[in-house]
Amino acid sequence: MAIAQSAGPIAAPSPEIRKINSADMRESLAQGWDDFLSKRGDLIFVGILYPLIGLFAAVVAFQGPLLHLFVPVAAGISLLGPVAAIGFYELARRREAGLESDWSHFFDVPKRPAWDSILGVAALLVIIFALWVAAASAIYTALIGPAPDSLGGLLRTVFTTPEGWTLIVVGNLVGLCFAALVLTISVVSMPMLVDKDVDARTAIDTSVKAVMANKGMMVGWGLIVAALLVIGSIPAFIGLAVVLPVLGYATWHLYTHLVVR
């Protein structure tokens, strides 16, 4: 008698997606703020890591030929926000489950069953960030030409020439596309991978379906995130020490609203 051979692992079905409303978004933000307040003594120093990354990016971008990439690099750091926030997803998960959740558990994400998939999605977001910087550089070169030799020269070119204003408009539109892509593939996938043992493809597919089912609400969420990141970046990225943890926790709660677990 022939013995049937397995054709390989069967992909798990995507979880059911909920339709959310503005009340769900407000509740997610309120819950994120509550999580931050309950952990503020433990996590301020962890939140400082993200501003330090931003400052490092600024220092690198201000070096000679990379001067014109300062704004794209600083703005593009937000594309890596979901990677920086995975520790906050873990703390929110533990708090929700009634488990101990002090600052040390921020670093427990590698112990999660889907760690390999988390790394895969993180690598994808790093690639998208690199593509954004490359695109921004190409747009600058196509519209203006060689990189400026001083900050003053860069500001004069950008704000006093037609090419500079075209750069602002085109650069922001292209950046918006990259931001929308990151939001679509990560808003559910990263917290979901921290929450349960699923593969990266299932997590990303669920994230895309959740965004497509809630287009209006997710556009609103993206605008809220963008506004808070801009506010947190002024001055010198210091405010991100508060904004990043709050958004990390809030995104976890948004995930719990979006996906039937």
pLDDT in tens, 115-141: 999 999 999 999 999 999 999 999 999
Q: Are 121 and 189 in contact (CB under 8 A)?
A: yes
Whether 9 is covered by a domain: the verdict is no
Is the model's pLDDT at 42 over the cut of 60?
no
Q: How many domains does the chain have?
A: 1
User: Tell me, what DSSP letter sits at residue 17?
Assistant: B
Buried/exposed 133-159: b ≥16 CB within 10 Å, e otherwise: bebbeebbeebbeebbeeeeebeebbe
pLDDT at 165 over 50: yes
Q: Is residue 74 part of a domain?
A: yes
* Pairwise pLDDT comparison (183 vs 229), residue with the higher score: 183
101 in any annotated domain: yes
The parent domain of residue 200 ranges over 22-136+168-258
Give residue 175's pLDDT. 92
Residue 96 lies in a domain: yes
Mean pLDDT of 34-52: 67
Separation of CA 219 from chain center: 14
Least confident interval from 41-45, 47-51, 189-193: 41-45
> Residue 224 and residue 179: Cα distance in Å, rounded?
13
Q: How confident is the model at residue 147 (pLDDT cuts 50, 70, 90)?
A: confident
The pTM assigned to this predicted structure is 0.83
187: pLDDT strictly greater than 90? yes
Cα angle, residue 121 at apex, residues 231 and 59 outer, rounded to 5°: 45
| CA triple 175-75-163, angle to 5 deg | 60
Please determine, for residue 2, whether its predicted confidence score (pLDDT) is greater than 70.
Answer: no
Does residue 142 sit within a domain?
no
Is the model's pLDDT at 1 over the cut of 50?
no
Q: What is the mean pLDDT of residues 182-194?
A: 96
Task: Decide if 144 is inside a domain.
Answer: no
Q: Does 94 map to a domain?
A: yes
Mean pLDDT of the chain: 84
The stretch 76-104 carries a mean pLDDT of 86
Would 38 be classed as within a structural domain?
yes
